[in-house]
């Protein structure tokens, strides 16, 4: 299988690597700016894929269906959450095993649909921008349309794809890691030009698409939609510094809280410096799996029950898919039974008071936002709203 067709065109416009496009954060009345006034951004990572993040058979309500995720979104909005997020994966039959079996809604379509049933919360769709391949004119028009439907609340998590099997499903071999960011940069800069140019726009670069006298209306309400990416590599961090408003980070050292708080300060500082270097500012977002009960003992009992019901088929299933992602390199405990059964970038376990103490420590480590996951999403989110959120406000983490 070959990589998608590319070309170098003599008529390509000179690319200005120092060009900085407007961000919705530059507009004081944008939904993003309003959310950024919170001491800590608060989000929910919707389980639009079977099993959410947790490879465990312990009974729960969590399901990938649209109605379940719509209800979660409306609950999160009523609790004052700032944003919701949806994962995107392209997996062959069977996915990662019995629980994480690949059954999933499309993130782009799901979050787009949720724009019409919400009024305040920001909605971030994950899009693999190099698969298909997408054309920047499509994405610019779709994005501007959703920006208007949502009142500036929609955004895109820009993903280049790290699993070989996903690229192969679209008919080519996986594109080399740093090359993916070069192609994504071209696409993103073309989209942003279409969102901001007041005249027709043409472009021909290294990618397999061209623009000839292209134009997009309506223009986004606040410069452009919200842009997010998840990364841990040098190329990805540079990409984020140039383009993203929010950067999804992982703990470089592991999924336990103690590992995370030791490794995150240097990592978050590096991510933020990449934006400062080009005259911008980004915020970091972390995905913790929150296991909370009224007492520490009850929380650990819940955790242990999840681990005791781990999907035994998942190790072999995960091993089927070759990945060149760099964000997880060095994580000491990622492959353990507990990490696999519970999921999340890091695991936070304890009473409401202990969870808030861990949030405070993560904020001190340079984490600007928390994109929460739960095991049993509906009841666990309700418990979080009742018992944890008031403590976050008392601690100054939320207004």
> Poorest-confidence range of 9-18, 187-196, 228-237, 271-280?
9-18
Q: What is the pLDDT of residue 315?
A: 67
The closest alpha carbon to 83, from 141, 38, 129, belongs to 38
Domains of the chain (ranges; CATH) run: 24-394 (3.20.20.30)
Q: Report residue 155 as tokens.
A: 């955004």
Q: What is the pLDDT of residue 175?
A: 86
Phi and psi at 28, nearest 5°, equal -60, -25
327 confidence band (pLDDT: 50, 70, 90):
low
380 touches 290 (CB < 8 A): yes
Region 302-315 average pLDDT: 91
Return the higher-pLDDT residue of 256 and 335.
Answer: 256
Question: Does residue 324 carry a pLDDT above 80?
Answer: no
DSSP lists the bridge partners of residue 273 as none
Question: Does residue 165 carry a pLDDT above 70?
Answer: yes
Question: Does residue 283 carry a pLDDT above 60?
Answer: yes
Question: Does residue 83 carry a pLDDT above 90?
Answer: yes
157 touches 181 (CB < 8 A): no
The per-residue pLDDT for range 139-151, each reduced to its tens digit, is 999 999 999 999 9
328 confidence band (pLDDT: 50, 70, 90):
low
The closest alpha carbon to 205, from 20, 10, 5, belongs to 10
202 touches 214 (CB < 8 A): yes
Query: Cα–Cα distance between 314 and 307 in angstroms, integer?
Result: 13
What is the percent of the chain with per-residue pLDDT over 90, rounded to a whole number?
A: 77
At residue 394, the 3 state secondary structure works out as helix
289 touches 347 (CB < 8 A): yes
Q: What is the pLDDT of residue 125?
A: 98
- Whether the full predicted model's pTM is greater than 0.85, yes or no, is yes
Burial class (CB in 10 A: 0-12, 13-18, 19+), 399: exposed
317 confidence band (pLDDT: 50, 70, 90):
low
Q: What is the pLDDT of residue 331?
A: 55
Question: Does residue 372 carry a pLDDT above 90?
Answer: yes
Return the higher-pLDDT residue of 69 and 164.
Answer: 69
111 touches 124 (CB < 8 A): yes
């Amino acid at each position: 299988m070959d990589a998608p067709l590319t070309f170098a065109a003599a008529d390509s416009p000179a690319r200005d690597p120092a060009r900085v496009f407007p961000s919705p954060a530059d507009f004081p009345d944008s939904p993003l700016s309003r959310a950024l006034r919170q001491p800590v951004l608060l989000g929910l990572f919707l389980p639009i894929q079977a099993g959410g993040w947790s490879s465990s058979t312990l009974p729960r309500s969590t399901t990938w269906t649209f109605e379940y995720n719509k209800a979660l979104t409306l609950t999160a909005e009523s609790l004052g959450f700032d944003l919701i997020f949806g994962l995107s994966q392209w997996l062959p039959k069977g996915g990662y095993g019995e629980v994480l079996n690949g059954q999933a809604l499309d993130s782009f379509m799901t979050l787009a649909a949720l724009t019409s049933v919400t009024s305040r919360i920001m909605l971030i769709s994950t899009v693999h921008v190099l698969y298909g391949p997408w054309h920047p004119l499509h994405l610019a028009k779709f994005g501007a349309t959703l920006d208007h439907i949502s009142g500036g609340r929609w955004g895109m998590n820009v993903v280049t794809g790290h699993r070989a099997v996903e690229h192969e499903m679209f008919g080519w071999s996986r594109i080399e890691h740093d090359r993916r960011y070069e192609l994504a940069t071209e696409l993103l800069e073309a989209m942003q030009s279409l969102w901001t140019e007041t005249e027709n726009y043409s472009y021909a670069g290294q990618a397999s698409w061209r623009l000839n006298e292209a134009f997009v209306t309506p223009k986004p309400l606040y410069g452009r939609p919200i842009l997010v990416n998840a990364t841990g590599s040098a190329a990805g961090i540079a990409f984020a510094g140039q383009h993203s408003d929010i950067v999804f980070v992982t703990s470089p050292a592991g999924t336990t809280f103690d590992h995370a708080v030791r490794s995150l300060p240097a990592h978050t500082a590096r991510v933020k410096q990449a934006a400062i270097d080009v005259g911008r500012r980004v915020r970091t977002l972390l995905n913790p799996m929150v296991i909370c009960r009224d007492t520490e003992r009850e929380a650990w009992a819940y955790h242990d029950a999840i681990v005791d019901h781990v999907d035994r088929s998942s190790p072999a299933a995960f091993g089927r898919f070759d990945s060149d992602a760099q964000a997880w390199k060095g994580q000491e405990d990622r492959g353990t039974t507990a990490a696999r059964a519970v999921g999340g970038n890091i695991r936070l376990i304890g009473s409401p008071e202990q969870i808030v103490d861990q949030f405070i420590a993560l904020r001190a480590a340079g984490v600007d936002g928390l994109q929460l996951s739960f095991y049993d999403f509906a009841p666990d989110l309700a418990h979080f709203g009742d018992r944890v959120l008031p403590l976050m406000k008392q601690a100054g983490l939320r207004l």
